[in-house]
């Protein structure tokens, strides 16, 4: 593994998401246009630049804004391009405004998606995309490759969440007497991989201690199941994460640990 990848794994994230976006639009007919994708990315980068100046940060760093905006391009859909612009702005500015003791409270992409879905009453929605088998398994391999890149970081929360979530889905199928095909089909979803490897694993918004992160993963998995199978609402993963993020300051107080810093840090 080269020194570059060990130093800055966010480049791998950007490459993975960019490849998925290009393949999704060109081959899988993802319901997003190149114009919309360019609008989201340019708005996110401009917002990052403006916030950098407003909050007097020493350096404009586009990396986190690019990762967040690429995730928005893959997931966020809207009736109006203005709503896409507002969603991208909320995503970026929330990083600078919603903080607790210098730490992000919410995953920015997740907050941008859920706040727009809530505020617009259905004019913004999340599309899991048209995930064919080739795309799903290719993305799965790319995500597992990121585990290698992130080997010293916080993969524990990703695997803990997947373990809890898969166990609950399979246990529910056994309890109801469902065919195994039902939970297996529910798991073959690229949006689930995107959530597990790019959202809940965000080292800037997860608890500082390993035990805290595992408890956090359990709460998010239970919350997602509750939203999906008790309240019968869609996007249970996203709603659960945004609610459970409010528990992170409490978990950090109860189970303190070393706060994560990028190896090549900027303030945001």
Buried b (16+ CB within 10 A) or exposed e, 189-198: ebbbbbbbbb
24 pLDDT band (50/70/90 cuts)?
confident
Q: Please report which helix (H) or strand (E) contains residue 99, including its range.
A: strand 99-100
Rama region for 207: left / alpha / beta (φ>0; ψ in -120 to 50; rest): beta
**Chain centre distance of CA 208:** 18
Cα separations (Å) of 28 from 22, 40, 63, 192, 198? 9, 20, 26, 18, 21
End-to-end alpha carbon distance in the chain: 26
What is the structure's pLDDT at 1? 46
The whole-angstrom separation of Cα 77 and Cα 32 is 7
Please list the helix, strand and coil fractions of the chain in percent, rounded to the nearest 5, in that order.
70, 5, 30
What is the structure's pLDDT at 25? 86
What is the structure's pLDDT at 5? 47
Which residues, 6+ apart, have CB-to-CB distance to 101 below 8 Å? 249
Q: Over the stretch 189-225, which tens digit does the pLDDT of each residue have?
A: 778 888 888 888 888 899 999 999 999 999 999 999 9
What is the structure's pLDDT at 173? 93
15 pLDDT band (50/70/90 cuts)?
confident
Q: Over the stretch 97-155, which tens digit does the pLDDT of each residue have?
A: 999 888 889 999 999 999 999 999 889 998 765 666 666 666 666 666 666 556 546 68
8-12, 87-91, 105-109, 234-238: which has the minimum mean pLDDT? 8-12
Computed over every residue of the chain, the mean pLDDT equals 85
The whole-angstrom separation of Cα 237 and Cα 201 is 13
Quick one: what percent of the chain has pLDDT higher than 90? 51
Exposed, middle or buried, 67 (CB in 10 Å: 0-12/13-18/19+)? Answer: buried
As a whole number of Å, the CA-based R_g of the chain is 18
Q: Over the stretch 154-180, which tens digit does the pLDDT of each residue have?
A: 688 888 999 999 999 999 999 999 888
Q: Which residue has the tokens 């995730």?
A: 71
Q: Token pair for residue 200?
A: 């809940």
pTM (two decimals): 0.87
**Closest C-alpha among 9, 30, 54, 4 to residue 147:** 9
């Amino acid at each position: 593994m080269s020194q570059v990848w060990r130093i800055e794994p966010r480049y791998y994230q950007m490459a993975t998401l960019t490849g998925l976006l290009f393949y999704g639009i060109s081959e899988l007919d993802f319901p997003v246009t190149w114009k919309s994708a360019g609008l989201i990315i340019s708005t996110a980068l401009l917002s990052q630049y403006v916030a950098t100046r407003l909050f007097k940060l020493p350096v404009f760093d586009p990396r986190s804004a690019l990762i967040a905006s690429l995730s928005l391009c893959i997931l966020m859909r809207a009736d109006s391009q203005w709503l896409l612009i507002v969603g991208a702005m909320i995503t970026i500015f929330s990083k600078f405004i919603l903080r607790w003791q210098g730490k992000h409270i919410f995953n920015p992409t997740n907050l941008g998606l859920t706040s727009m879905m809530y505020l617009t009453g259905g004019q913004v929605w999340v599309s899991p995309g048209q995930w064919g088998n080739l795309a799903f398994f290719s993305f799965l391999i790319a995500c597992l490759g990121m585990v290698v890149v992130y080997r010293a970081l916080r993969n524990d929360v990703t695997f803990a969440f997947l373990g809890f979530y898969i166990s609950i889905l399979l246990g529910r199928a056994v309890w109801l007497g469902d065919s195994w095909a039902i939970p297996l089909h529910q798991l073959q979803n690229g949006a689930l991989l995107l959530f597990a490897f790019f959202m809940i694993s965000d080292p800037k918004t997860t608890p500082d201690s390993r035990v805290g992160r595992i408890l956090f993963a359990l709460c998010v998995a239970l919350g997602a199941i509750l939203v999906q199978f008790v309240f019968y609402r869609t996007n249970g993963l996203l709603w659960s994460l945004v609610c459970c993020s409010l528990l992170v300051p409490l978990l950090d107080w109860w189970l303190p640990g070393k706060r994560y810093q990028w190896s090549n840090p900027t303030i945001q």
